[in-house]
Amino acid sequence: MSVSIEKAALRKHLLEKRDATSAELRDIVSERIHENLKKNSSFVNAQNIACYFPIGSEVDTHDIMLDVLEQGKSLLLPKIIGDNIEFHIVSNLEKLEKGRFEIMEPKDSCERTKKIDCVLIPTVGVSKSGVRLGYGHGYYDRFLLSTDAMKISLTYSKQVIKSIPNDSHDIKMDWIVTEDENIKIS
């Protein structure tokens, strides 16, 4: 079986598992992930923090985004441009509009960032060795090839699995932050 077929089957299974979690439990767990993220030195010491606007059953990042803004740090959110994502500086959450895939993204008036210290990455699944499974569109993989920013996967502990089939273009995470722990990838 090809890696892409294996990934598609695993993605479907993990999304079903994640989607089956109640909204109330996801809120509680997202709050605990935020608390653990605040203990992560790579995040705490970053000034230019790339985040994502949550969709569906993803880890909710609203409080993280507000926290970054309240601390006077630069909040950077992705905007899809063609087949790629670019991160733009967002001074408040009113600077967003619906973009491709109906995901909130920075308005055209938001300046493109020149520097990213750390990037918080939406995750369908991740292995303890740092191999991330996304939605399969490749936006983050293409972006991560071009940055030396600290890569932090935000995910529920039940989405951390033994192994994920990977391709040569898959970029490993530096950290995995769950509701239970911060996992440093060596």
State whether CATH 3.30.870.10 applies to domain 3-184.
no
Helix extents (H) in 40-183: 41-44, 62-70, 139-144
> What token pair was written down for 94?
């009113």
> What token pair was written down for 83?
């087949």
Residue 159 burial (CB count, 10 A)? 20
Instruction: Judge whether 59 and 32 are in contact, CB under 8 Å.
Output: no
What does pTM read for this prediction?
Answer: 0.95
Instruction: Check residue 170 and give its pLDDT.
Output: 80
**How do beta strands 160-161 and 132-133 pair?**
unpaired
Phi, psi of 74 (to 5 degrees): -85, 120
Domain residue ranges in the chain: 3-184
pLDDT in tens, the chain (186 residues): 688 899 999 999 999 999 999 999 999 999 999 999 999 999 999 999 999 999 999 999 999 999 999 999 999 999 999 999 999 999 999 999 999 888 999 999 999 999 999 999 999 999 999 999 999 888 998 999 999 999 999 999 999 999 999 877 788 999 999 999 999 998
Say how far apart CA 26 and CA 31 lie, in whole Å. Answer: 8
Instruction: Check residue 68 and give its pLDDT.
Output: 98
Residue 65 burial (CB count, 10 A)? 21
Widest CA span in the chain: 49
Instruction: Check residue 50 and give its pLDDT.
Output: 98
Distances 11 to 5, 7, 108, 126, 152 between C-alpha atoms, Å: 10, 6, 32, 11, 19
Instruction: Check residue 47 and give its pLDDT.
Output: 98
